[in-house]
Structure 1
């Protein structure tokens, strides 16, 4: 293959642009014109590292409480008291035999309000592994036992999503520094760590864009790249998508979290998703991670002083609670469904290092305005050692995690293409954890979609001076080198 000098210069610009916004993190979207939010949004939260589900959803009475305390004499969450588990009751007031970690008060409140359901003993039903890498990849790809499919389940869901009309400006979003595997092979998704960093701002400040006092006829890197990407080659089409993706984010009124919002990177990411939903850009699928759950030693329980696991649960609970409250206040909560899962649970029996090792079955949380909440779903086998013994001391998986995701796809997204989204999966039957989309559809309140205008992005002069263009290209090549 041969390249003309002009094509090479375009390539260096494209490479520099991609590097300036995070390399593989740059994916593509169309130009920023708001679309009505008349659909559901699925938010997939992956707790990387293997969440200890038994210390999040805690047995608080009956025989299982005794087995739990025997297996975790120094790691068990108390059943009562100042740092005791928060009881989970049914709408009738009857007990469930379980409670939440005392730091999960936000999740408890969502449960009591009927917006949180929990699927017991969920996970990889057809593929047993204690490898973080394998288990995470199986879930991200949606193909337990198979890793070479080349696309993520979220990408396939996006690619088969009915009723997309092309007006969606941000149909899928991954919040993180790198493209989520779940969105692998989707060209409709955009990935960014934070809106404030999603911009071409590398290199000399004065070269980035046109600003007050710039020489007549000057165009910065941002304006020049957009002018160069006007052909029909694969490189130029990719550049056009990249430019539109940058404009989608630049034209939205992303802001710092409101007063009282939880602190930390994860809470900030949840705020980014909340705003992206409220901007009515057609967001259908969003995904993000919260790592740090591989608690082999020094896990901690609950109480005064430092407890690692206690702090992680507080981080999770507070951010999810704030996220739901923000969407509820803006009228969007009824059309957002959040799935919280980890690659596997932890062993029932604590280890000798004050922690827990890799296990199997685990709770999956589903929250949102359309959730049939304040209920447990799936099948709970109990913690009797005789039941656990055939599963090497682990909580067995009794519900395939794809069953939960399939119900949300079918009922909330209207996407029944399950054989494509989850190849090899069959026998789907709904658990009843969410209501059909039409059952809760209501007119949405008007949300302002006025876009922020930047003077630098408005009708800038083209670069007609060939010497100026050559200097700019030389500078871009130096950046790449």
Structure 2
């Protein structure tokens, strides 16, 4: 049968080839779509792009820092108590007060904390590179090389490529739920970018012609089958087509379903549902990443209360989706092998600005949740927000824990990957915080790699080591 394709159909096929060409020739059919819990771990990295205001997510509720917080944010401060919109207390397992609470809309995160599945790292971020640029800070985190942008691969791509025992036959080891591959997965030929499973369908034109079906007329070959036969050679275009076709068939084989009725309906929740299903399918998924933007709250940030509050709505979106994601994977027996990291490129300034918002800052909380997290505890060093303490840092909360330290512990204790030098070139300051359960391995560090990665910093970037000058105001923090 001859098949005539119009321009739109041809472009859709070419787009699939281009977008999926990085998927690699090993992306073939998977096993059962409803497999048992995986024998391997999966890391899910959620990037809150735009610089989330961590001081109004994890709120000082007691001690001297409470007074400093209220002075700095007369219009944005979340009440410590006495209101239905007061901070949700964060207590230790024994009931002790930590001196901190969560935004009142973060009830899902509060429940995960109380159940011992959520840990929070204080004042975390880019410890060796200062920048107020969203683009630079995001790229440094995605690449895993603070101060250097010339490296051609991302930290998650290198993590898979350096994974001990990694097999070329794994179907889908790395997934970005996005329209294009993020910088964190650059350099890996096995990373797949998929905004939605529905995008992986060549479904233009008449429905009956799209694919060969049981009720198709005898001898009919659908467009999908015909295209697959056209990609049989060894040219670059044909090899790319083979990889695209393999990816299309893998996704089509899985039982991706509509959003459950008990889930929130935001786009972010739908994207997390795609990751949850991909973890449940027997695809070998080790690394997944997803963005949630909209955190650049220079004006009209809002606080907590009745009526419209922009920031409050963002916290609802984040917390509700993460709660549903955790419940889904816990209910299917997978969450014991899943670790979720939630971070932003930097925090906001301690003091509110004149437009009802907050400007770019530095230190920020990093959330780590999962079945293997030693939760209901704070980690790292809380320097406090006394203006005298903040003065050397331009009035910002400093970074006291390098975010690579958190990720390295997950790689070592959960992924069994000690090749820290390969994943984070130039980083040599690792020691476990104790936030993850698992076995410690000796980090594999390379002096030569470190020297290469720390040379030639990007223009216009200041480099300082952000160490706290004081622990004044430190309340309820456990440091390992």
Q: TM-score of the superposition, structure 2-length normalised?
A: 0.86
Aligned positions of 1:55-454 closer than 5 A: 55-80=56-81, 81-203=83-205, 205=207, 207-211=209-213, 216-436=218-438
**1:176 to partner: Cα distance:** 1.1
Whether the 8 Å CA contact 2:20–2:247 is kept in 1: the answer is no
Task: Please say if 1:32 is aligned against 2:29.
Answer: yes
Q: Deviations over 1:262-309 (max 9, x none)?
A: 111100011111111111211100000000000000000000011000
- Please tell me the root mean square deviation across aligned C-alpha atoms, in Å: 2.1
Task: Please say if 1:17 is aligned against 2:24.
Answer: no
Whether the 8 Å CA contact 1:25–1:178 is kept in 2: the answer is no
Distance 1:277 1:374 in 2: 25
Distance 1:14 1:202 in 2: 10
SS at match of 2:414: helix
Q: 1:22 to 1:113 in 2, by over 3 A?
A: farther
**1:230 to partner: Cα distance:** 1.9
More displaced, 190-199 or 111-120? 190-199
Distance 1:391 1:24 in 2: 43
SS at match of 1:405: helix
Q: Deviations over 1:118-145 (max 9, x none)?
A: 0000000010000000000000000001
More displaced, 293-302 or 227-236? 227-236
Distance 1:149 1:228 in 2: 36
Distance 2:22 2:294 in 1: 26
**1:23 to partner: Cα distance:** 5.0
Q: Deviations over 1:142-197 (max 9, x none)?
A: 00011110111000001111122344211111001111111112111111111122
Distance 2:18 2:236 in 1: 18
SS at match of 2:375: coil
Q: Which runs of 5+ in 2 are unaligned?
A: 441-480
Whether the 8 Å CA contact 2:353–2:359 is kept in 1: the answer is yes
**1:338 to partner: Cα distance:** 0.2
Q: Deviations over 1:375-412 (max 9, x none)?
A: 00011100000011110010000000000000000110
Distance 2:147 2:311 in 1: 30
**1:221 to partner: Cα distance:** 2.4
Q: Which runs of 5+ in 1 are unaligned?
A: 1-8, 439-481
Q: 1:71 to 1:49 in 2, by over 3 A?
A: same
Whether the 8 Å CA contact 1:155–1:182 is kept in 2: the answer is yes
**1:25 to partner: Cα distance:** 6.2
Whether the 8 Å CA contact 1:106–1:321 is kept in 2: the answer is yes
SS at match of 1:317: helix
Whether the 8 Å CA contact 1:199–1:246 is kept in 2: the answer is yes
Whether the 8 Å CA contact 2:119–2:367 is kept in 1: the answer is yes
Shift >6 Å, 4+ stretches: 12-15
Matched with 1:41 is 42
Matched with 1:448 is none
More displaced, 240-249 or 378-387? 240-249
More displaced, 342-351 or 158-167? 158-167
**1:208 to partner: Cα distance:** 2.7
Whether the 8 Å CA contact 2:20–2:244 is kept in 1: the answer is no
Distance 1:32 1:319 in 2: 30
Distance 2:55 2:385 in 1: 10
SS at match of 1:157: helix
Whether the 8 Å CA contact 1:25–1:177 is kept in 2: the answer is no
Distance 1:275 1:269 in 2: 10
Q: 1:391 to 1:96 in 2, by over 3 A?
A: same
More displaced, 134-143 or 232-241? 232-241
Distance 1:106 1:123 in 2: 24
**1:437 to partner: Cα distance:** 6.1
Distance 1:435 1:265 in 2: 32
Distance 2:70 2:14 in 1: 53
**1:233 to partner: Cα distance:** 3.1
Whether the 8 Å CA contact 1:13–1:225 is kept in 2: the answer is no
- Aligned residues, how many? 428
